[in-house]
């Protein structure tokens, strides 16, 4: 996606997020037990949902990569997992702030939901080093896809296990919108849509930037005669290699004086 599509997505994200903020602070009523502190959940829970969904989507994209052998799916999987990690850090920080306000502690080690989320985040924190450790781009993308699928399958299993085993210590205020009053449910759904759109927009920006960077590199190689192919002048990198024949062809045309 580029040009008009990216612009539309960006505008939609800004509009929905602004609407969500307005609803959170000026429309949704104060929760009876937690009061104003509960407003954190309108950002914390959507961040957590989008993060975990992103990890699963990364696994699905990796399946598509292994099925087709097309490097573009690997790039998409990489970007989605990368962005989910950033959103995961946001989830942990906002959750810790809520915990400090509500429980008086930044972190509670005997709370299964918190610890299981941290385990998932640490698991995915090894994704980048794994990629970086393998120099051959083909092997790197294959191994990374296998990791993404395995870890992606672990996410819903872990979520279900925690749900089934805990005594519901972690508040489920927004765990299911069915228990919420209408105004709170609407606010939560708009917030979720806003965070999901933000995730999609940032992923699209990242993908566009990486494609542009790969095309510029291909053009440089073609202009300077530094060799061809994804391995040429690449060195060790955790970022998936992209093949760009159109850019290389364009560079060759320029070199020929065309």
Residues at the interface with other proteins (CB under 8 A): 21, 25-26, 30, 35-37, 39-40, 43-44, 47, 86, 89-90, 93-94, 97-98, 100-101, 198, 202, 205, 209, 212-213, 216, 219-220, 223-226, 254-257
Nearer to other proteins, 19 or 90 (CB): 90
Phi then psi for 31, rounded to 5 degrees? -75, 145
Q: How far apart are alpha carbons 198 and 193 in whole angstroms?
A: 8
Asked if 183 and 28 count as a contact pair (C-beta separation under 8 A), the reply is yes
Q: How far apart are alpha carbons 153 and 157 in whole angstroms?
A: 7
Nearest to 50 by CA among 11, 89, 18, 78: 89
Nearer to other proteins, 72 or 210 (CB): 210
Q: How far apart are alpha carbons 200 and 221 in whole angstroms?
A: 32
Nearer to other proteins, 34 or 64 (CB): 34
Q: Whose structure tokens read 């089934």? A: 164
* Min separation Cβ 149 and other proteins, Å: 27
Nearest to 43 by CA among 226, 192, 244, 245: 192
* Min separation Cβ 79 and other proteins, Å: 13
* Min separation Cβ 200 and other proteins, Å: 14
* Min separation Cβ 77 and other proteins, Å: 19
* Min separation Cβ 199 and other proteins, Å: 11
Nearer to other proteins, 225 or 246 (CB): 225
């Amino acid at each position: 996606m580029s040009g008009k599509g990216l612009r539309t997505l960006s505008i939609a994200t800004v509009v929905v997020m602004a609407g969500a903020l307005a609803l959170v602070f000026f429309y949704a009523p104060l929760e009876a037990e937690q009061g104003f502190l509960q407003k954190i959940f309108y950002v914390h829970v959507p961040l957590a949902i989008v993060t975990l969904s992103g990890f699963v989507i990364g696994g699905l994209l990796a399946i598509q990569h292994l099925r087709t052998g097309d490097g573009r799916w690997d790039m998409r999987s990489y970007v989605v997992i990368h962005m989910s990690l950033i959103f995961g850090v946001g989830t942990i920080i906002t959750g810790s702030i809520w915990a400090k306000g509500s429980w008086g502690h930044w972190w509670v080690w005997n709370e299964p939901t918190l610890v299981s989320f941290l385990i998932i985040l640490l698991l995915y924190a090894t994704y980048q080093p794994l990629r970086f450790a393998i120099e051959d781009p083909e092997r790197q993308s294959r191994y990374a896809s296998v990791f993404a699928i395995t870890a992606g399958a672990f996410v819903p299993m872990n979520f279900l296990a925690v749900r089934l085993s805990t005594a519901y210590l972690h508040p489920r205020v927004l765990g299911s919108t069915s228990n919420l009053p209408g105004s709170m449910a609407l606010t939560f759904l708009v917030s979720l849509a806003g965070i999901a759109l933000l995730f999609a927009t940032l992923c699209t920006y990242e993908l566009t930037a990486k494609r542009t960077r790969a095309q510029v590199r291909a053009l440089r190689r073609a202009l300077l005669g530094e060799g061809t192919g994804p391995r040429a002048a690449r060195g060790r990198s955790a970022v998936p290699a992209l093949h760009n024949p159109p850019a290389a062809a364009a560079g060759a045309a320029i070199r020929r004086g065309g």
